Amino acid sequence: MKRSLFGRLWPNATAVVLFAGFVFPVYWMFATAFKPTGDIISENPVWFPTNITLSHFKKAVDADHFWTLVVNSVTVTVLSVVFSLVIALFAAFALARLRFKGRRGLIVTFMLAQMAPWEVMIIAIYMIVRDNDMLNSLVPLTVFYTMMVLPLTVLTLRGYVAAVPKELEESAMVDGCTRVQAFRRVIFPLLAPGLMATSLFGFITAWNEFPLVLILNKDVEKQTLPLWLSQFQTAFGDDWGATMAASSLFALPILILFIFLQRKAVSGLTDGAVKG
Amino acid sequence: MSVQTQGTDTAGEPAVRKARIPRPPRGADRDPASPARRGAGAPYLLVLPALLATVVLLGWPLVKNGMLSFQNLNPRQLIQHLTEWNGVENYRSVLSEPEFWHVVERSVFFTAVNVVLIVGIGTLIGLLLARLGKRMRLLLMIGLVLAWAMPYVAATTVYQWLFAQRFGVVNWVLDRLGWHSMADHNWLGSQFSTFFVVIVLIVWQSVPFVAINLYAATTTIPKELYEAAALDGAGAWQSFTSVTLPFLRPFLYSTTFLEVIWVFKSFTQLFAMNEGGPDRLTETLPIYAYVEGVGNQHFGVGAAISFLTIVALLVITSYYLRMVLKQEEDEL
């Protein structure tokens, strides 16, 4: 199909404008973080940071408890992703490869569980955790984050397992492998990309989670980065440089992961409901 | 499995055994050839950890939430660990409270505005992605993915800065465009403009999901359909309405439902922006439940608000699932 010059131009022009609009807040976060305070609070915005400074980052990193909370956030996130992947892998294999009574019901159950309104269940979870004397601990966070991620992990992994040709497994078993060995040596290596893509959703969910840690852990030493960041601005007043440096540090790991894994993830995401 | 031991050390509670997730009584999809095989119990063993986790960690809070909503649970009962049942008193007080109905209206409005904008803009950008050349598509995708990946709280602080009263870019631009009264506008000072900022934030974060997935869906439309439409003399608009739109309709329906559920239960952005302020005027249902239940220490009432919200969400979710299951009938 031939298109006029105008017909080619407007989509491209729109795309550039949209790109700028979507990127600008992210750009502004990083740009502000590197600008000296004089350039941040100036009558006219300084669009490109020319005098680079790292003082805001130093301020964020030196803030009380910062490193404790980094360790907390990383611990809780990594553990819940690993736990949910392990638990989900068993279930995903059964749901993809085996035929049994109640299979369909299970799939529907996980679909329902995937939509669970965790934000609205925090009072009940608070009571449960409190009755078990587990407030101000990372254990309930890890356990519930695992659960938040689990249903979608099961459903997406099921898709990845189903995509591995049955014949590979069967021929391995003809060669004398047991079913477990066939899974370990044949299917599992082929699942690696799928596991990585699936874990992205888990990382984002656990790294982002805010309401539950807000209600469960009043002790600063046991909180995570999202809570710290939301209170950072209150603590630092209008020190936007420091706030943006803190936001940048918090966002960077996820942005990097996303850029790397997004390609693999998008195909998997279309099957399930995911919000990064 | 370490997870299981963690999950079960709280299983001394009888509530767990009562918590059953309702399952549709369907077993008709059995493969007739399999049950006689060795290891008929294997599938159940494999699924058990995931199912157990779901029953305990999701079922229990749901049941607990229901139980709490029928209790008089204020600071005194909380501290002394008393269980005082008070029937439907919490529900009566919630439903007769005009403030609750304000919050319901507000939540519905907030959800509707967000979802219309997200699905509308997301669809248009998705269709644009389909029209672009390779390089421009990649450029726009990068922008979309960056917005999509931004963690909620980080994005919220950035928007607080963009819309800051002093030195915020937005006020500077509006002032430059000649709207001088906005030069010193306090965006978080009133209900309407706080909602405005949060809606811009949520739309910015949510559009990429719709746009990228809609674009992915357009790539699966068979080329022959367009060729056939062209042979029939269809113009660009006609081939869009007769080929593209019908093909994308299921996707648009399910995406709309998903966004309704996500936006309706969203908590972090609104809370991190202004804690439901000013004067509690931007509290939607999830935040209202939290502030009433935890902030004002009326845990029973908070649980009742939560439960009503959960029921509303469950209704929407079951509609959504029915639709999805109809679409994927053959795949399950």
Kindly report, residue by residue over A175-185, the tens digit of the pLDDT. Answer: 888 888 888 88
What per-residue confidence (pLDDT) applies to A64? 87
Q: Show which of residues 207-246 on chain A sit within 8 Å of chain B, judged by CB atoms.
A: 207-208, 210-211, 214-215, 226, 229-230, 232-233, 238, 240, 243-244, 246
What per-residue confidence (pLDDT) applies to B330? 59
SS3 B85: strand
Please indicate whether, in this complex, the C-beta atoms of A232 and B157 are within 8 angstroms of each other: yes
Tell me whether A180 touches chain B (CB under 8 Å).
no
CB-nearest partner of B213 from A21, A32, A270: A270
| Smallest Cα distance from A114 to chain B, Å | 10
Torsion angle in degrees (nearest 10) through CA of B115, B117, B118, B122: 140
pLDDT in tens, B59-98: 999 999 999 999 999 999 999 999 999 999 999 999 999 9
The residue assigned the tokens 């990372």 is: A138
Cβ-based contacts under 8 A for chains A and B = 309
Please, are residues B56 and B7 in contact by the beta-carbon 8 Å criterion?
Answer: yes
**Given a cut of 50, is residue B22 above it in pLDDT?**
no
Phi/psi region, residue B276 (left: phi>0; alpha: psi -120 to 50; beta: rest), is left
Average of per-residue pLDDT across A137-161: 96
Output the six-digit token pair for A69.
Answer: 């909370």
Mean pLDDT estimate for chain A? 89
A213 → chain B, closest CA residue = B268
Contacts of B142 in chain A (CB under 8 A): 19, 23
Dist CA B165 CA B188 (whole Å): 9
CB-nearest partner of B169 from A28, A103, A208: A28
Please indicate whether, in this complex, the C-beta atoms of A238 and B166 are within 8 angstroms of each other: yes
A41 → chain B, closest CA residue = B167
Mean pLDDT estimate for chain B? 88
Contacts of B144 in chain A (CB under 8 A): 22
Give the helix ranges, DSSP H, for chain B: 2-8, 15-18, 42-54, 60-68, 75-79, 89-95, 98-131, 134-149, 152-162, 169-176, 191-218, 223-231, 236-239, 245-264, 268-274, 285-290, 299-327
Mutation for testing the A interface, residue in B20, B80, B146 having most A CBs under 10 Å? B146
Q: Label residue B39 by pLDDT band (50, 70, 90).
A: low
Average of per-residue pLDDT across B225-243: 89
What per-residue confidence (pLDDT) applies to A263? 65
Average of per-residue pLDDT across A46-73: 94
Please indicate whether, in this complex, the C-beta atoms of A150 and B54 are within 8 angstroms of each other: yes
Query: Of A205, A203, A240, A208, whose CA–CA distance to A224 is shortest?
Result: A208
Q: Label residue B19 by pLDDT band (50, 70, 90).
A: very low
**Given a cut of 60, is residue A235 above it in pLDDT?**
yes
pLDDT in tens, A63-91: 889 999 999 999 999 999 999 999 999 99
Please indicate whether, in this complex, the C-beta atoms of B289 and A104 are within 8 angstroms of each other: no
What per-residue confidence (pLDDT) applies to B3? 33
A207 → chain B, closest CA residue = B151
What residues form DSSP beta bridges with B85?
B71
Please, are residues A7 and B132 in contact by the beta-carbon 8 Å criterion?
Answer: no
The residue assigned the tokens 């997730």 is: B21
Please, are residues A211 and B290 in contact by the beta-carbon 8 Å criterion?
Answer: yes
Please, are residues A222 and A138 in contact by the beta-carbon 8 Å criterion?
Answer: yes
Average of per-residue pLDDT across B227-244: 89
What per-residue confidence (pLDDT) applies to A169? 83
| pLDDT greater at residue B7 or residue B103 | B103
Phi/psi region, residue B233 (left: phi>0; alpha: psi -120 to 50; beta: rest), is left
Please indicate whether, in this complex, the C-beta atoms of A22 and B144 are within 8 angstroms of each other: yes
pLDDT in tens, B187-210: 999 999 999 999 999 999 999 999
What per-residue confidence (pLDDT) applies to A156? 93
Average of per-residue pLDDT across B179-191: 93
Q: What's the start-to-end Cα distance of chain B, in Å? A: 29
Tell me whether B330 touches chain A (CB under 8 Å).
no
Q: What's the start-to-end Cα distance of chain A, in Å? A: 37
Task: Render the burial of B44-83: b for 16+ CB within 10 Å, e for the rest.
Answer: eebbbbbbbbbbbbbbbbbbbbbbbbbbbbbeeeeeeeee
Contacts of A26 in chain B (CB under 8 A): 146-147, 150, 158
Angle, helices A225-236/A188-208, rounded to nearest 10 degrees: 30
| Smallest Cα distance from A170 to chain B, Å | 16
Tell me whether B213 touches chain A (CB under 8 Å).
yes
| Smallest Cα distance from A6 to chain B, Å | 13
CB atoms within 10 A of CB A190: 14
Q: Label residue B9 by pLDDT band (50, 70, 90).
A: very low
pLDDT in tens, A83-125: 999 999 999 999 998 889 999 999 999 999 999 999 999 999 9
Q: Label residue A266 by pLDDT band (50, 70, 90).
A: low
Q: DSSP string spanning B238-254?
A: HHIIIIIHHHHHHHHHH
Phi and psi (nearest 5°) for B71?
-115, 150
Q: Hey, CA dihedral for A109, A111, A112, A117, is it positive or negative?
A: positive
What per-residue confidence (pLDDT) applies to B309? 98
Q: DSSP string spanning B200-219?
A: HHHHHHHHHHHHHHHHHHHT
**Given a cut of 90, is residue B143 above it in pLDDT?**
yes
What per-residue confidence (pLDDT) applies to B15? 33
Please indicate whether, in this complex, the C-beta atoms of B51 and A29 are within 8 angstroms of each other: no
Dist CA A114 CA A201 (whole Å): 12
pTM: 0.88
Dist CA A48 CA A35 (whole Å): 9
Average of per-residue pLDDT across A215-219: 96
CB-nearest partner of A229 from B43, B153, B212: B153
CB-nearest partner of B10 from A109, A115, A132: A132
Dist CA A258 CA B36 (whole Å): 45
